[in-house]
Amino acid sequence: MTDRLGAPRAEPIFERLALIGVGLIGSSIARAAREMGLARTIVAIDRDEGVVGRVRDLGIADEATGDALAGVRDCDHVILCVPVGACGTVAAAIRDGLKPGAVVSDVGSVKASVVAQVAPHLPEGVAFVPAHPVAGTEHSGPESGFPTLFLNRWCILTPPEGTPPEALERVRAFWTAMGSNVEIMTPEHHDLVLAITSHVPHLIAYNIVGTAADLETVTQSEVIKFSAGGFRDFTRIAASDPTMWRDIFLHNKGAVLEMLGRLNEDIALLARAIRWDDGDALFNLFTRTRAIRRSIITQGQETPEPDFGRRRPD
């Protein structure tokens, strides 16, 4: 039996897997689960009939439907791959279709809010193991997924107090088999960590690109024409799904606002160093941040190639 995107497993971890929401993450899970043999049957569920049709055309699931309640029946693992603001509504809609012993999970970038939304709707005997695969691209839709999306990326599990150990272990095994490095932490700690490593950087990217767009006369000429590495990479981040990121900021507002407060203080110190020609302060900051970049590469979360690993023209 080989895991981590090697040969398929001899026996699946789950008999029947339901994925509610078939965008980048949901379709990548479907592809990886099929390639690894992690579920005997994969059910794709999406309220958009156009998405359901594309899933059928792509052949990435055994069944595809727009009926969430019917789709989760008899499933022993159900993963909510929807914006975090919709998790409570979806959980309420599928409640009566969940069988005893089923394990419900999600893939949201916010955890405390998702736990608060979902847990009250789950019937007795159904376990909830929230998950956050820290992986993705700026693309969306079922055609954008690929089975190696989670390979050597982190997946953070945030089980609420009282979660059955066997349910936690099955979800851990599922993500490990798809190539993820699994970490377990509390929902609150997760939200604080992700606020600074993901949420605030996205907010900064949206703000900078928005500022450039407001400078309309410049944007139509110099900014777009001379988009070098810095601004260009901000635009990549700012191209991410707007619904998903709207919900992330609204549902992790406490941690995000805390980190923005810290950021504003640090920017004030940086502005002071520039104003007063404090080259030592600037050099020391840039040296420290350069070391952080190198440590991210060392841990395998980025490649050392120039230009962020982009292929250069021949």
CATH among 1.10.10.10, 2.60.40.420, 3.40.50.800, 1.10.3660.10 for 189-276: 1.10.3660.10
| Mean pLDDT lowest among 1-10, 123-132, 299-308 | 299-308
Predicted pLDDT at 303: 57
Which is more confident, 262 or 72? 72
Taking 50 as the threshold, does the pLDDT of residue 2 lie above it? Answer: no
Q: Give yes or no for residue 301 having a pLDDT over 60.
A: no
Q: What per-residue confidence (pLDDT) applies to 196?
A: 87
Instruction: Read off the pLDDT of each residue in 102-107 and give the average, rounded to a whole number.
Output: 98
Residue 237, helix vs strand vs coil: helix
In the predicted model, is pLDDT for residue 19 greater than 80?
A: yes
Measure the CA dihedral 148/197/90/251, to 10°: -170
Top pLDDT among 244 and 103 is at 103
| Residue written as token pair 């088999």 | 177
CA angle 34, 38, 43 (to 5 degrees): 60
pLDDT at 217 over 70: no
Q: Between the ranges 75-79, 266-270, 271-275, where is the mean pLDDT highest? A: 75-79
**Residue 289: pLDDT band with limits 50, 70, 90:** confident
* Ranges of CATH 1.10.3660.10 domains, the chain: 189-276
State phi, psi for 169 to the nearest 5 degrees: -65, -35
Give ∠ CA 104-107-109 in degrees, rounded to 5. 135
Q: What is the 3-state secondary structure (H, E, C) of 95-149?
A: HHHCCCCCEEEECCCCCHHHHHHHHHHCCCCCEECCEEECCCCCCCCHHHCCCCC
Render pLDDT for 191-200 as a digit per residue (tens, 0 to 9): 999 998 888 8
pLDDT at 124: 94
pLDDT level of residue 305 (50, 70, 90 thresholds): low
> What are the residues whose beta carbons fall under 8 Å from the beta carbon of 5, sequence distance 6 or more?
32, 35, 36, 147, 148, 151, 178, 179
C-alpha dist (Å) from residue 270 to 201, 267, 274: 17, 5, 6
Q: Which residues are CB-neighbours of 8 under 8 A, at least 6 positions away?
A: 35, 36, 37
Tell me what the mean pLDDT of segment 157-181 comes to: 97
CA dihedral of 302, 245, 112, 180, whole degrees rounded to 10? -30
Is the per-residue pLDDT at 112 higher than 70?
yes
What does the chain come to in residues?
A: 314
Per-chain mean pLDDT for the chain:
87
pLDDT at 311: 47
pLDDT at 312 over 60: no
What CATH architecture applies to the domain 14-185? 3-Layer(aba) Sandwich (3.40)
Q: For position 5, what pLDDT does the model report?
A: 67
Of 164 and 243, more confident: 164
Task: Locate all alpha helices (DSSP H) within 111-252, ordered by sequence.
Answer: 112-118, 165-177, 187-194, 200-214, 216-218, 224-225, 229-238, 242-251
Averaged pLDDT, 28-33: 97
The predicted pLDDT at position 298 comes to 67
**pLDDT for position 145:** 94
Residue range(s) in the chain whose domain bears CATH number 3.40.50.720 = 14-185
Answer whether residue 273 shows pLDDT above 70: yes
